[in-house]
Structure 1
């Protein structure tokens, strides 16, 4: 996106390859600035990530059963063979396991860092993952930070964003009915092996 200050218009590159000029302060310009252009791994690549992984660290895990991170942690503990680590500096234990204050405190480098933090916290989590050598950062459903995704990829990380690891794992392994999410909107009839 380029701005022409003399006429206060912006040239916007659209995802379809076309470009247009719009008034810089218009609602359309603000909307176009928020359009998502980054794409993460496709379904086959996400399946590969989940199959190769042996351990997952859940950053932002909560001991509160009403929180989605608790629900996902429960599923990952009970419905997968992953070694699951919980990261929360304000908790001693979560789901009967020790909670760690940060990624650097974990007993091993996790294959996946699953993130339940606000979008503005994602760059720091990516830096922490890079520092410890974790290969994948998986940012949960509803959380989007395109700049952080692009930054993480530029540093060699695999980034999955705005996807629930529980839903993806269950979808690929035929377990959407386990612990909820049996809405009928996503089918789990055929298991990928």
Structure 2
């Protein structure tokens, strides 16, 4: 079951330090762009992933082509892809050894969620971490 209880979501966000954001955009009008900045401002290291802009920088971070390319431990993979593409991102998160996957607002893939949970990952679906941080009144994390 994806995490839905406030305490469980708060615990996940408080335990997280490194977030890979799949589907980052370099356009300031896109939600992924503003969510990345919000997460950085809250103290997280956010590693952007988008093969179309790989090698560029967003909010001071190098953009990776894939999760497999990152090469550092990932606590949480935040998925800014449509529901049809979310499953592949979840499978990549499992392969990369992430501890959790977070499917953004309106991103729902129950089969992918089940695969992630079977692999031992925590799952949040159809929510935004930036909204949850504000809603739960979480303090910034320390590196």
The alignment's TM-score, normalised by the length of structure 1, stands at 0.67
Question: Which position in structure 2 is the counterpart of 1:84?
Answer: 46
Structure number with the higher helix fraction is: 2
Question: Which position in structure 2 is the counterpart of 1:144?
Answer: 108
| Residues 1:158 and 2:102 are matched in the alignment | no
Deviation at 1:76, TM superposition (A): 1.0
Instruction: Kindly report which structure 2 residues correspond to 1:44-63, keeping only aligned pairs within 5 A, or say none.
Output: 44-63=7-26
Question: Which position in structure 2 is the counterpart of 1:103?
Answer: 67
- Partners of 1:144 and 1:44 in 2: how far apart? 21
RMSD: 1.6
Three-state SS of the structure 2 residue aligned to 1:130 is helix
- Partners of 1:90 and 1:158 in 2: how far apart? 28
Deviation at 1:85, TM superposition (A): 0.6
Count of residues in Structure 1 that have an aligned counterpart in Structure 2: 137
Mapped contact 1:41–1:159 kept (Cα < 8 A): no
Cα-to-partner distance string for 1:67-112 (whole Å, 9 max, x where unaligned): 100010111122x111111001111111232101110111412101
Instruction: Kindly report which structure 2 residues correspond to 1:2-151, keeping only aligned pairs within 5 A, or say none.
Output: 39-78=2-41, 80-91=42-53, 92-151=56-115
Deviation at 1:125, TM superposition (A): 1.2
Range 91-100 or range 42-51, more displaced: 91-100
The alignment's TM-score, normalised by the length of structure 2, stands at 0.88
Three-state SS of the structure 1 residue aligned to 2:63 is strand
Deviation at 1:172, TM superposition (A): 2.1
Mapped contact 1:112–1:138 kept (Cα < 8 A): yes
- Partners of 2:92 and 2:73 in 1: how far apart? 11
The higher-RCO structure (CA 8 Å, 6+ apart) is 2
User: Structure 1, unaligned stretches of length 5 or more?
Assistant: 1-37, 176-193
Question: Which position in structure 2 is the counterpart of 1:178?
Answer: none
